[in-house]
């Protein structure tokens, strides 16, 4: 079994947040999709780039409705959440050519949720050898592409139909 270790994420989790409130509620209300890295707006859910990615291309799918309870999602929300997750995979395969993916929902802080009040689906592209000595020896993570460049490539592919 492979493990995805990202110990640098604790710095983010423990750090004071520069945004009051819930990004999954507030960001979609703004008209700043490029600045907020919102890739797509669906009917009940939206797709956003993770500003603190585990790997380049780390996307998240979240319902607009503020809830931490997966079991409370409506059928429409649940279906769109997972359909958009599938679309993320199509687009990321086209744009980033990963060897695999991790998909997951962290429910509660103890499960690793950085935003434990608003559930979201992580879509994390993975490559053979994407974990290396840098985080272990140098306490440094290597993200090979700026978030804005990743956003632009993903958004363009999404808008072009993403190999559908």
State the pLDDT at residue 135.
45
Q: How far is CA 44 from CA 49, 63, 76, 148, in A?
A: 17, 6, 7, 25
The C-alpha atoms of residue 105 and residue 18 are separated, in whole angstroms, by: 24
The C-alpha atoms of residue 11 and residue 49 are separated, in whole angstroms, by: 19
State the pLDDT at residue 113.
73
Model pTM score? 0.80
Span 63-101, pLDDT tens digits: 999 999 999 999 999 999 999 999 999 999 999 999 999
The C-alpha atoms of residue 59 and residue 33 are separated, in whole angstroms, by: 14
User: DSSP secondary-structure letter at 20?
Assistant: -
Give the residue numbers annotated as catalytic, written as ranges: 120
Span 106-162, pLDDT tens digits: 888 887 777 788 999 999 999 887 764 444 434 445 556 788 889 999 999 999 985
State the pLDDT at residue 64.
98
What residue ranges define each of the domains in the chain, with the CATH number in brackets? 9-14+21-159 (3.30.428.10)
Name the 3-class secondary structure at 18: coil
């Amino acid at each position: 079994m492979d493990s995805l270790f990202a110990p640098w994420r604790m710095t983010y989790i423990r750090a004071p947040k520069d945004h009051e409130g819930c990004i999954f509620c507030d960001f979609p209300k703004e008209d700043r999709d490029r600045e907020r890295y919102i890739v797509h707006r669906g009917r009940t859910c939206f797709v956003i780039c993770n500003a603190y990615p585990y790997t380049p291309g780390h996307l998240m799918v979240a319902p607009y409705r503020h809830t931490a309870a997966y079991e409370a999602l409506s059928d429409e929300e649940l279906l769109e959440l997972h359909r958009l997750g599938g679309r993320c995979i199509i687009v990321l395969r086209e744009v980033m050519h990963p060897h695999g993916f991790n998909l997951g929902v962290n429910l509660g802080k103890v499960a690793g949720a950085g935003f434990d009040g608003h559930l979201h689906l992580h879509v994390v592209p993975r490559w053979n050898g994407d974990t290396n000595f840098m985080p272990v020896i140098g306490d440094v993570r290597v993200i090979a592409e700026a978030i804005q460049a990743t956003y632009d490539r993903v958004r363009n592919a999404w808008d072009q139909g993403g190999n559908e």
